[in-house]
A and B are shown apart, each in its own frame.
Chain A
């Protein structure tokens, strides 16, 4: 059992100077007394002005979800102890963003383990115990963030995660629907693992991020030195685009580092999707390929996507005719299956397209040509969305005794 009380400490107020009258009357001076005293300290600290990142003032945190290896030995951490153990932010922040690689220090594991948002995120995603919290903290640190020159950023993890994600998503699409045209494959891949989709995934995990701030004209973005670094580990950090009033107009303004150099900026969607990719990359490094694959299937490929709605045909009847010629089938012929109200305003026709005596597809429409076109589209979709329901090649790697079965390979898209 580990309860950790964490929160920013007001340097002006000495916790030991809090008078006993502030403590809860009638309570033993053990745990509850400490809790109460800490609360007083925290109430004072809420007066503080916070810096660039979005921090929640006036809080103490209890959490119990740190992996056992990271749990502090004592059940309670009091504010006075915390002050001694705390990283001093100014010493961390004084290093410039543009320092060379030698200036990058690894994330301090003991400090990272105190970040409740990180520990809870670790548990929420059901990451394995060997997935270190420092890796999770690194995944939240974008290359454009304020801490990028101080602590390692997520660019290598996201690069690895991106390749893995691309491979498994492409494999899933191509093995499920081997006849899909390239345009549809690209679109489906974007819908599964493009920046927007991954941003939605990251947001559905409850990851908080730095909010862009509006800057007044002539004022620099002020970075307070006393921001709470431990809480800062738990939010997605990136150099966001910032609006400012320039000559009566609202536009993006440049952000500067402490040494006056221009700071790199990134879109929110890029930063959040890179975070999700980094989680996958980190999982691959810590727990191996199978764990990463399972994670991709559980979080990315379990999402709903209707691939049949992604098609747009330019000349469906002609394309179907060319397809039948290529496959040496009888030329498609459209035949009326049913109709109603031909001479009325609301006529409906049902047309089937046949190759010999085989019905390839049927469509309904307000006019005969519309129904004919729909029938051809349905026939083409039935062709392109053929799904042999075979296991993808990567599934044979998990079980050594499984024999690899060659998959269906389509002769290619129909050329009109």
Chain B
């Protein structure tokens, strides 16, 4: 066989090229029925949540009753979770936090210290000193 195939792994997903799937798949709203810190959260669930869930049909919404501080948790396609405590927040602040979780990619927040790598080739190609015109070549 003159040409053999090398296994280089499966194709790589490019979310947004073709189909786009929102990375946030589920949002959990945890509230307490008695706690004063959940006053805003209770109002949010009562007033805003229905509209928010209607705007985001692809997200599964879950409302959990538990004693303690209110919490919003986002579950993402990469298997990670992100939680934001919303104790003592007003409904308008909780709206912002819920949107933040909805728009998040689910990736861990890290400071990018490495050069950005891409799965695509550079449009300009790789620079080669040997393929330059002779007058521009470096003379040793």
Contacts and interface: CB of A to CB of B under 8 A. Distances in A.
Contacts of A414: 2
A415 B2 contact: yes
B66 A43 contact: yes
B9 A304 contact: no
B102 interface: no
Given A36-B65, A319-B3, 16 more contacts: A22-B33, A35-B46, A42-B65, A62-B50, A63-B53, A65-B57, A120-B58, A124-B59, A197-B10, A206-B25, A206-B77, A302-B18, A304-B13, A309-B6, A314-B1, A319-B2
B46 A32 contact: yes
Contact of A39 (B10, B33, B128): B33
A367 to B, nearest CB: 15
Contacts of A62: 49-50, 53, 61-63
B16 to A, nearest CB: 9
Interface string A188-210: 00111010110011011110000
B3 A303 contact: no
Nearest to B67: A43
Contacts of A190: 10
Of the four ranges (under 10, 10 to 19, 20 to 34, 35 or more), the interface on chain B belongs to 35 or more
B57 A123 contact: yes
Interface string B55-78: 001111111111000000000010
B3 A181 contact: yes
21 contacts: A32-B42, A32-B46, A35-B45, A36-B33, A43-B65, A58-B64, A61-B60, A63-B53, A119-B57, A120-B25, A181-B3, A190-B10, A192-B11, A200-B10, A203-B77, A204-B21, A206-B25, A303-B14, A311-B6, A380-B3, A384-B3
B27 to A, nearest CB: 10
A61 B62 contact: yes
A221 interface: no
Contacts of B63: 35, 59-62
A370 to B, nearest CB: 15
A338 B2 contact: no
Contacts of B19: 125-126, 295, 298-299, 302
Contacts of B25: 120, 124, 206
Contacts of B3: 181, 183-184, 311-314, 319, 380, 384, 413
B18 A191 contact: no
- Name the residue among B10, B11, B21, B77 with the largest chain A CB count within 10 angstroms: B11
Interface in A31-87: 31-32, 35-36, 39-40, 42-43, 56, 58-65
B61 A63 contact: yes
A297 B4 CA distance: 27
Contact of A314 (B4, B10, B131, B140): B4
A117 B10 contact: no
Interface of B: 1-15, 17-19, 21-22, 25-26, 28, 33, 42, 45-46, 49-50, 53-54, 57-66, 77, 119-120, 128, 130-131, 140
Contact of A186 (B5, B21, B28, B66): B5
Nearest to A196: B10
Contacts of A40: 65
A169 B62 CA distance: 38
A59 B26 CA distance: 13
A130 interface: no
B47 to A, nearest CB: 10
A187 B11 CA distance: 11
A112 B28 CA distance: 21
Contacts of B26: 120, 206
A64 B56 CA distance: 9
A378 to B, nearest CB: 13
A305 B120 CA distance: 10
The 8 closest A-B pairs by CB, nearest first: A302-B18, A65-B57, A39-B65, A123-B57, A124-B58, A206-B25, A187-B5, A303-B11
B120 A304 contact: yes
A315 interface: yes
A297 B19 CA distance: 9
A312 B60 CA distance: 46
A311 B5 CA distance: 5
A61 B74 CA distance: 14
B50 to A, nearest CB: 6
A30 to B, nearest CB: 10
A204 B14 contact: no
B12 A303 contact: yes
A338 B130 contact: yes
